[in-house]
Amino acid sequence: MAKVPPEGEHPVKAFGWAARDQSGHLSPFNFSRRETGDEDVRFKVLYCGICHSDLHSIKNDWGFSFYPLVPGHEIVGEVTEVGSKVNKVKVGDKVGVGCMVGACHSCDSCKNDLENYCPKMILTYNSIYHDGTFNYGGYSDTMVANERYIVHFPENMPLDAGAPLLCAGITVYSPLKYFGLAQPGKHIGVVGLGGLGHVAVKFAKAFGAKVTVISTSPSKKDEALEHLGADFFLVSRDPDQIQAAMNTMDGIIDTVSAVHPVLPLLGLLKSHGTLVMVGAPDKPLELPVSPLILGRKMVAGSGIGGMKETQEMIDFAAKHGITADIEVVSMDYVNTAMERLAKNDVRYRFVIDIGNTLAATKP
């Protein structure tokens, strides 16, 4: 029996851009979305951030991509319809959806508002939903999601600059809180100044911490100190700078997804400090064990956050005026944006102006 084409799979037409194969080249794509169920929220997508994960996915870097693939998990817009059992939001509200659209809701992780660690967690795109159909992400005109996965955007939060917080924001906010770094007086290191790193600096400063940006690029110093308000800047390849900062940090958020040496970073930690990896290098890192033992130090991983915490993060960001630094692009710029992203040529997140530029690309 022939597989139902994406356009006919669901009752409501949808339009977006998809990658068709591992070249990762995105182009206009007609598909469909389910009707608004009792617990669903439907919204018109206004903006969608481009996350580095989108780039990895469209190129099948992780080996589990299925095509056509519509990426996008930093999705914001305006509610157009809510199911009969929805209480969280109403038509006209500004909302967002991040990296997840489902989970089991019965395991320990789900019961602790940690849907992101549920073994049956469903990603926003390139995954299978409860009804067996394939999930399409936010490079599209509309989105439907279960209420639990909808984040309410406060009035004072700009939609375009707030969109990246739905992935980048929660990815750094969650470990800052969980590992006890979200407190005044802590000294936090941030490795890498990109989409994740720049937001980590902003959140850490808002928590009252002292922040050192650790980078391989000396050229980012002014940016870190003047623009983002970091307290110090360290070039990680300079042994003297590393030496001078040994044993000074309570924690380090490492956003770098390339393979890099861990030993100097462990040296920067005070005893009982934690190095939190939020970037995922595709090859294993070398972990020297003695520094962990001698200083009771830890290396931990963290992946996004649960929905309750994501809402808390957005509310915190709104209260403290924290948004991502973005470059708004039109839908048809997306392939160029991806090429620039591969070279880290963006300060610091592309956001697609879906609301104003997607419709014009319909063939």
CA angle 302, 77, 91 (to 5 degrees): 120
Over its C-alpha atoms, the chain yields an Rg (Å, rounded) of 20
Which residue lies nearer to other proteins by CB, 6 or 279?
Answer: 279
- Find the shortest distance in angstroms from Cβ 48 to other proteins: 23
- Find the shortest distance in angstroms from Cβ 207 to other proteins: 19
Which residue lies nearer to other proteins by CB, 92 or 119?
Answer: 119
- Find the shortest distance in angstroms from Cβ 88 to other proteins: 26
- Find the shortest distance in angstroms from Cβ 282 to other proteins: 8
Spatial CB neighbours of 101, under 8 Å, sequence gap ≥ 6: 122, 123, 124, 127, 129, 135, 145, 146, 149
CB 150 within 8 A of CB 135: no
Distance in angstroms between the alpha carbons of the first and the last residue of the chain: 29
Coil, strand or helix: which one is 79? strand
CB 220 within 8 A of CB 201: no
Which residue lies nearer to other proteins by CB, 10 or 210?
Answer: 210
Kind and range of the H or E element at 25? none
Coil, strand or helix: which one is 243? helix
Spatial CB neighbours of 246, under 8 Å, sequence gap ≥ 6: 267, 268
Which residue lies nearer to other proteins by CB, 128 or 294?
Answer: 294
Which residue lies nearer to other proteins by CB, 178 or 333?
Answer: 178
- Find the shortest distance in angstroms from Cβ 267 to other proteins: 13
- Find the shortest distance in angstroms from Cβ 98 to other proteins: 16
- Find the shortest distance in angstroms from Cβ 292 to other proteins: 3
Spatial CB neighbours of 327, under 8 Å, sequence gap ≥ 6: 346, 347, 349, 350, 351
Pairwise CA distance, residues 71 & 53, whole Å? 9
Please list the residues that pair with 41 across neighbouring strands. Answer: 82, 145
Which residue lies nearer to other proteins by CB, 45 or 277?
Answer: 277
Pairwise CA distance, residues 338 & 62, whole Å? 17
Lookup result for tokens 């299925």: 66
Which residue lies nearer to other proteins by CB, 49 or 279?
Answer: 279
Which residues bind to other proteins, rule: CB under 8 A? 109, 114, 117, 119, 178, 247, 262-263, 271-272, 274, 277-281, 284-303
